[in-house]
Structure formats: C-alpha cells, structure tokens
C-alpha cells in the first residue's frame, strides 16, 4: 500500500489550521499528501468561490465539504427569509467548489424560545432548502452537535435525533454529518452510525478528540489519539456503515492554530495513517459532481 492510498480518505478541514489563508491551506495539504480539504465559507469571503475553486482544482485537491450553513434561529418572517437566502448562497458556493456536501449547523435557542420550537424550525428550514440543493446536486448534511452547544449552536444533539428530523426527505439530498467530538459520549453511537449508513444518510464524517479539562469546549478540542475517544472503534463503525467518503480532520483548538499550518497538516497525515487508515478501505471518495464554472 502506498502512502497516498493510506491517505486517500483523509481530508484537512480548514478549521484545523484556522488562521491560514486558502493559499497556505492548499500548500499544506499538497505537501502533506492530503488529497481533500474541507472549506469554510469565511475563507471564501475574500476571493469568492469561483477563484477558490480554480486554485483548488489547479492544486489537484478535492473538496470534501463546505462549512457551514444552518443556524436556523429566527422566528420572524424577514429573519427567516434572510437565513434561507444565506443558505441558498452557501449551496451555490458548494456547487461552485465541487463540494458534494454542505454542512448544516442547526443553531441554538433564541432568547424566549424553546427547545421543541427550535427542533421544529430546523426541520422546516431543511425542507425549504431541498429544491435548491437538489438542483445544485448538493447533499445537505445536518450535524448533531455535542449537548454542550445545544443552547447556543446546535439544538440537535444525537445521531438518532438528526435522523429523525430528516426522516422522509430524499436521502441523496439530505443526510447527516457525524463528528466524533460531538457524538462520542453517546452509548448508541455505533448502532446509530450503522443506521445512518443503512439509510444512505451518512454524508460526512469528521474527527476531533475530547480531553478534559476542556476549558471552552468550542476551541479546546484535542488531536485524535490524545483524548478519550476510541478512534479504532469509530473508524470501524464508519467503515462498517458503508461510508466511502473522506474523513475530515476538524480540530478547533486555539493552541493548534498558533502552530505552523504545514506542520499541522503533516501531523494530521501521520495520525490518519496510524489511527484511521487501518480500519478504512482505500480508494478515492466519490465526487458527487464536477463543478461548473458557474453557480446554478
């Protein structure tokens, strides 16, 4: 097995090298032999999706996902329309980048709101976005988030609940994103990953580790292998579920961001070989479409 085969499923999510611009991120991936990248919208703001897409393509990089849409928290009509419009623009950008997936972070509970109402809102919003996503050939991936974020970022806390929320919507257009950091504590994790795979909804997999004391859980995620999560089991579950896409290394860690992006990328590649590759089949992740030069 060549090194590149071991890394065929490896993707570096830009959040892991949060302070690097896209040019540096591309260089880091190429030098480390990482074939895919998870792109953040805020990194597109300067240059636009089209220019970013050209740079990524010139470097031979695949895009595994665009992060992120979602945040469906408005309860008035104009806020609601604004949120849906913003998500439609994100879908267009995902299409332009050739990303198969747009990650949806559900959003929290607005002041005066309730958990139940927020859950209903997430379903309504995703349903409203299906036609646009379908025409762009993008899969919307609802991300269950660690319950520590339920009030302020993501009211959907488990794989089981995410699957329930998207139930009945077409699986090729609406799936879920599973990040080890968010779901590792769930005693039902493995069975729910299996269920997600069986129903064709496992659209994206991400990894980060959990190590107490966490400080601010948003930016204190640990490098896989250094925390309490069992990644051999996680990778085995993902593989057994029939997932053939990229595993994105997405590590929000304020200390890691101070490190040299090229060194971080090399560390990701090495850890991927040791920790995940043994449990994964190799081969290029499926690309859902080749991007046109124009957004739909």
Q: Report in angstroms how near the CB of residue 147 gets to its own copies at its nearest.
A: 4
Residues 210 and 226: their CA atoms lie apart, in Å, by 8
Parallel, antiparallel, or unpaired for β 36-40 and 10-13? parallel
Of 14 and 180, CB closest to its own copies? 180
Of 233 and 281, CB closest to its own copies? 233
Residues 231 and 243: their CA atoms lie apart, in Å, by 15
212 binds its own copies (CB under 8 A): yes
Size of the site for its own copies (CB under 8 A): 32
Of 24 and 74, CB closest to its own copies? 74
Question: Helices marked H in 46-199 — which ranges?
Answer: 49-58, 77-97, 115-136, 159-166, 180-183, 189-198
Report the SS3 class of residue 121.
helix
> Which x/- pattern, by CB under 8 A, does the window 223-242 give for its own copies?
----xx-x------------
How far apart, in Å, are the Cα atoms of 120 and each of 110, 201, 202, 204? Answer: 13, 20, 22, 23
Tokens representing residue 221 in the block: 């995620």
Residues 30 and 164: their CA atoms lie apart, in Å, by 39
Residues 262 and 128: their CA atoms lie apart, in Å, by 40
Of 19 and 230, CB closest to its own copies? 230
115 binds its own copies (CB under 8 A): yes
Report the SS3 class of residue 247.
strand
Q: Report in angstroms how near the CB of residue 238 gets to its own copies at its nearest.
A: 17
Instruction: Report 130-149 residues binding its own copies (CB under 8 A).
Output: 146-148
Q: Report in angstroms how near the CB of residue 187 gets to its own copies at its nearest.
A: 5
Tokens representing residue 179 in the block: 């990040």
Distance of CA 249 to the CA centre of its chain: 9
Of 119, 171, 259, 279, the residue at the interface with its own copies (CB under 8 A) is 119
Of 49 and 122, CB closest to its own copies? 122
Residues of 204-217 as b/e, b for ≥16 C-beta within 10 angstroms?
A: bbbbbbbeeeeeee
Radius of gyration of the chain (CA): 18
220 binds its own copies (CB under 8 A): no
Q: Report in angstroms how near the CB of residue 114 gets to its own copies at its nearest.
A: 5
Binding part of the chain for its own copies, among 54-62, 157-165, 251-259, 269-277 by CB under 8 A, reads 157-165
Binding part of the chain for its own copies, among 3-11, 65-73, 107-115, 267-275 by CB under 8 A, reads 107-115
157 binds its own copies (CB under 8 A): yes
Of 114, 135, 281, 284, the residue at the interface with its own copies (CB under 8 A) is 114
What is the contact surface with its own copies in residues (CB under 8 A)?
A: 108-109, 113-115, 119, 146-148, 150-152, 155, 157-158, 161, 164, 184-187, 210-217, 227-228, 230
């Amino acid at each position: 097995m060549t090194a590149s085969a071991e890394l065929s499923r490896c993707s570096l999510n830009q959040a892991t090298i949060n302070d690097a611009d896209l040019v540096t991120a591309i260089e880091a991936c190429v030098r480390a032999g990482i074939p895919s990248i998870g792109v953040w919208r805020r990194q597109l703001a300067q240059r636009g999706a089209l220019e970013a897409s050209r740079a990524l393509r010139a470097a031979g990089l695949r895009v595994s996902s665009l992060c992120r849409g979602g945040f469906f928290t408005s309860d008035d009509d104009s806020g609601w329309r604004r949120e849906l419009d913003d998500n439609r623009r994100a879908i267009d950008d995902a299409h332009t980048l050739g990303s198969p997936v747009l990650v949806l972070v559900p959003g929290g509970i607005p002041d005066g709101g309730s958990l139940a109402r927020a859950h209903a809102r997430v379903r309504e919003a995703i349903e409203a976005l299906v036609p646009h996503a379908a025409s762009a050939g993008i899969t919307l991936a609802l991300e269950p988030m660690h319950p520590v974020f339920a009030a302020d970022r993501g009211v959907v806390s488990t794989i089981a609940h995410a699957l329930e929320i998207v139930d009945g919507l077409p699986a090729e257009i609406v799936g879920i994103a599973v990040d080890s950091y968010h779901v590792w504590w769930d005693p039902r994790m493995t069975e729910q990953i299996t269920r997600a795979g069986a129903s064709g909804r496992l659209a994206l997999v991400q990894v980060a580790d959990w190590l107490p004391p966490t400080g601010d859980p948003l930016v204190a995620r640990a490098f896989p292998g250094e925390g309490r999560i069992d990644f051999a089991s996680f990778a085995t579950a993902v593989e057994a579920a029939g997932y053939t896409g990229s595993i994105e290394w997405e590590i929000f860690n304020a200390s890691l961001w101070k490190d040299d992006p090229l060194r971080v990328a090399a560390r990701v590649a090495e850890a991927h070989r040791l920790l995940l590759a043994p449990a994964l089949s190799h081969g290029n992740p499926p690309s859902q479409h080749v991007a046109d030069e124009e957004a739909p």
